Chain A
Amino acid sequence: AQSVTQPDIHITVSEGASLELRCNYSYGATPYLFWYVQSPGQGLQLLLKYFSGDTLVQGIKGFEAEFKRSQSSFNLRKPSVHWSDAAEYFCAVSRKEYGNKLVFGAGTILRVKS
């Protein structure tokens, strides 16, 4: 069965510090990979996506992610965190062969301290 693991339930970083959120997946083939962000009580906003090609992808709000096939990982990074980045972050995977439905991780809550 397809699954996504986000090992960190909570992460706290200082404003201006760098950030890395981990995501590992288990899938029959290399899936399509996504990161979404959710503010409290809100829907999900797409940060970035990977389908193929260059394994380092750039997204909105200064985020980037790197796909590592050998580690089945798609970690999200940001060089300098802003207080407005505090939210919950979800990694998700999909594949055309499975109807393109998204399979999500449990999420990582990011807290930013000033």
Chain B
Amino acid sequence: DTGVSQDPRHKITKRGQNVTFRCDPISEHNRLYWYRQTLGQGPEFLTYFQNEAQLEKSRLLSDRFSAERPKGSFSTLEIQRTEQGDSAMYLCASSESGSLETQYFGPGTRLLVL
């Protein structure tokens, strides 16, 4: 069990560019979550998948954001036309669905939009 991994760990981009982040969950976990954390705040929920189905999206997730989990394994989070306000840490977590669910987090991708 190698834990949740995320790539890249850091990304610097210019305003208006598109970026894509990848998350690889713990292999037997069927749920995958994305959170965003800004400086001085706790993480905020963005969206989650059960297998390949995207079951919920936060109102924080504007139409510039899209997430996929095409084969129910890894997931990608894409931000189009980045804005300076998108600068944050993007965290991925995975879990096994069930009534006593525990989420395990990856190391995060830190995005800086210049």
Contact = CB atoms under 8 A, between A and B. Distances in A.
Given A99-B55, A99-B56, A107-B41, A45 B105 contact: yes
Interface stretch (B66-74, B77-85, B96-104): B96-104
Nearest to B47: A101
A42 to B, nearest CB: 6
A38 to B, nearest CB: 9
A90 B42 contact: yes
Contact of B45 (A36, A101, A105): A101
A106 B102 contact: no
B105 A96 contact: no
A46 B104 contact: yes
Interface residues of A, number: 25
B56 A101 contact: yes
Interface in B89-114: 91, 93, 95, 97, 99-108, 110
A51 interface: yes
B99 A103 contact: no
B33 A51 contact: no
Interface string A41-78: 11111100101000000000000000000000000000
Nearest to A101: B45
Nearest to A4: B42
A38 B55 CA distance: 27
A25 interface: no
A104 B33 contact: no
A12 interface: no
26 contacts: A34-B102, A36-B105, A41-B110, A43-B6, A43-B105, A43-B107, A44-B91, A44-B93, A44-B105, A45-B105, A46-B103, A46-B104, A49-B102, A51-B100, A90-B42, A94-B101, A96-B99, A99-B56, A100-B31, A100-B95, A101-B56, A102-B35, A102-B43, A102-B103, A104-B44, A106-B41
Interface of B: 4, 6, 31, 33, 35, 40-45, 48, 55-56, 91, 93, 95, 97, 99-108, 110
Interface of A: 4, 32, 34, 36, 41-46, 49, 51, 90, 92, 94, 96, 99-107
